[in-house]
Each structure stands twice: as structure tokens, then as C-alpha cells.
A = this chain, B = another copy of it.
Amino acid sequence: MAAQLEVAVVGAGYWGPNLARNFRASEDWKLAAICDLDLERAQRVADGVGGAPVTRDLGEILDDPAIDAVAIATPARTHHPIVLAALESGKHVIVEKPLADTRARGIEMVDRARRNGLVLMADHTYCYTPAVLKIKELVQEGALGEILFVDSVRINLGLIQPDVDVFWDLAPHDLSIMDFVLPEGLDAASVSAHGSDPLHTGRACIGYLAMPLTGGGIAHVHVNWLSPTKIRQMVIGGTKRTLVWDDLNPQQRLSVYDRGVDLALHSKGTADSHAANVSYRLGDTWAPALPEREALAGVAGEFAAAIRERRSPRTSGESGLRVLAVLEAAQASLRNHGSPQPVESGVVAEAVTA
């Protein structure tokens, strides 16, 4: 086995303990330190994983030549300065979603990592769950055919966040998963966002995103902090089969339906004759077995592999940028009462020339 890489976890709040626990459990990694401005909080996390050095001084970590990488689990608005500092110190970086609080700052981060020859990975944890890995595999091998639509619902009685709306809080999950599993990635030319703040909290608590896909289909996301029931479901409809991922049904998370509409197109087919040639398939349903595996273990492994193989990780900084591009377009759409807004792309070229 290769020598272990050393990693420091920065941020000991909600997500940091999970990162610490998984790096500790990984054969690829040595958990070198936990850093938080609140030293007691850092110590509690360290205790919970059987001990690790703690510090409140980020500089100490960045100056430590033994440390190869940092995992950043601080609030989104702090990602930009911390990530840039880490990259300048020669550390590989993995960073919580969303990558940054603006796309421009995200571009700067991606650009810096590229120029410094370092790995910048987005911690899109869901992409490493057995369910999403299986979805990607099914899409790639063509089991669904061409993708017609993606409909994602992520609703719950959720904590109203002090600094971000429901789009920035929840939709990065849906968007990063779509970016991961779709053959072309998250390939939306424009986005329309409809939000509502009926409790007057100062930010949208209910949100809908509609995104025409360049291939002709549509992607849609429904996020909601005010739902009394919890739903986490994504439907991916294809020309051959349709997949339903019900993340809260441990007994059957994935179902692949061999049901759908078939169109027999004639060469002279007009729109009207199309309708006449519609038929239905009502075939079997199939629920692939999924291993029980913690997604963050896969995240830790992929981060190590990308560093060792000097390659881009499966959920790269660029994928984080594609998510930010949609979120920013959604913000613009919200300001424009739901009018569709273009989603920026061509991300790094811009940055380089900036």
C-alpha cells in the first residue's frame, strides 16, 4: 500500500466530524489535525474519533509541510479565502458544497488550483452513495436510453438558514447529482426559478427550478423547508426505461421501470401522425441490490486517488462551478420574477483571461 497522505479538517461544526471520522477510518489517510476557531469544539471532534491534534490557527496547518491536503467544512462565505490560502500553501483541497458563495470566486479557486497543479475537489457527497453510483452506471451503459426528463424533489421541515435561501441550501445536492449522472453533465442553457417566502423570513423557503436541457428534455428541482413530510426522490425518464430513486425507502431505493411511451416515427410523420403512433410498454420493474457503504468513505478514497494519480477527481471544482452557475442564474431569475435566465458556462477560460 502507498504511504498515507496527511489531511487536516478545517471546521468542526455540522459536517466536520463526519469528514474527520472518515479520514480517520481510511487506509489512504492520516488525520493530521482538526482546526476550528472554537478550540473546545475541535477537541470534542478529536475525542470522538479517538484523538487528533487540534488547533485554532489555520496558518499552523498551512505551514506544516507534512500535511498534504485540507478538507474545508466552514460556512460557504469563508470558502474563498481559506481555499486560496491553502492552494497557495501547496495543499490539495476538498471543500464543502457549495464550492463558493459566488461563481466568480469559484472560478478564481478553480483557476488557482489548475495553475498550482493541485487537486480541488467538491465534496458532493451524494455522488458517492451506492444509489447514485449505480444510477450513473445505468445511465452510462444506456439502460435508460436517451434522457427525457429529470425531476427531483427534496422537501422536509428544514432548518431555516440564517444566511442562505432554500435554493442555496438544498438544491446543490440535486444539481450536483444531475451533473454527475447525466451523460452531458448539468447541461442547462437557462433556468427559471420560482421562490416563495410566505413567512417573511427574508429568504425563499420554497423553491422550484425549471431547466430545459440542451438535448430537448427538461430538468426540474423542488426544494422546500416547510413540508411536514420528508421526500427525497429523483425520477430520471429515458426513452427505454425510467428510474425512480427514493432515498428514504431503504428496502427499495432504486426502481427501474421498463414502462414508457414508444413512438413509431414514419418518415413522413407530422406532429399529428406522431400522436397516432404512440404505444405503451408496461414491462417489469427491477430494483438492483445496493451495497451498504458510507458515501464519505468513497469521497476520501477518490480524493486520495486523484492526488496520487494527478488527475481531476470525479466531483471536481469544475462540477462545483457548474452548480454555482445554475444557482446564480436562479438568483437572477428570482429577481426577475421567474423569467428564464441564461446559465453561464465556459468557466475557466474566462477566469484565466481575467
Contacts and interface: CB of A to CB of B under 8 A. Distances in A.
Nearest to A272: B202
A282 B337 CA distance: 33
Nearest to A195: B218
Contact of A201 (B217, B218, B259, B274): B274
Contact of A282 (B161, B198, B289, B339): B289
A232 B48 CA distance: 32
Contacts of A270: 202
Contact of A242 (B212, B215, B226, B283): B226
6 contacts: A48-B50, A149-B206, A190-B337, A194-B220, A196-B212, A226-B242
Contacts of A258: 289
Contacts of A216: 196-198, 200
A346 interface: no
A263 B226 contact: no
Given A192-B192, A275-B201, A338 B210 contact: yes
A98 interface: no
A55 B206 CA distance: 53
A274 B160 CA distance: 10
Within the oligomer, what is the number of copies of this chain?
4
B263 A242 contact: no
A208 interface: yes
Interface residues of A, number: 75
B208 A220 contact: yes
Contact of A199 (B226, B263, B286): B263
A2 interface: no
A192, A198, A216 pick with most chain B CB within 10 angstroms: A198
A149 B208 CA distance: 12
Interface string A213-248: 001111010101111111000010101001010000
Contact of A244 (B194, B228, B261): B228
A99 B202 CA distance: 40
A216 B216 CA distance: 33
A269 to B, nearest CB: 9
Contacts of A50: 47-48
Contact of A285 (B274, B286, B339): B286
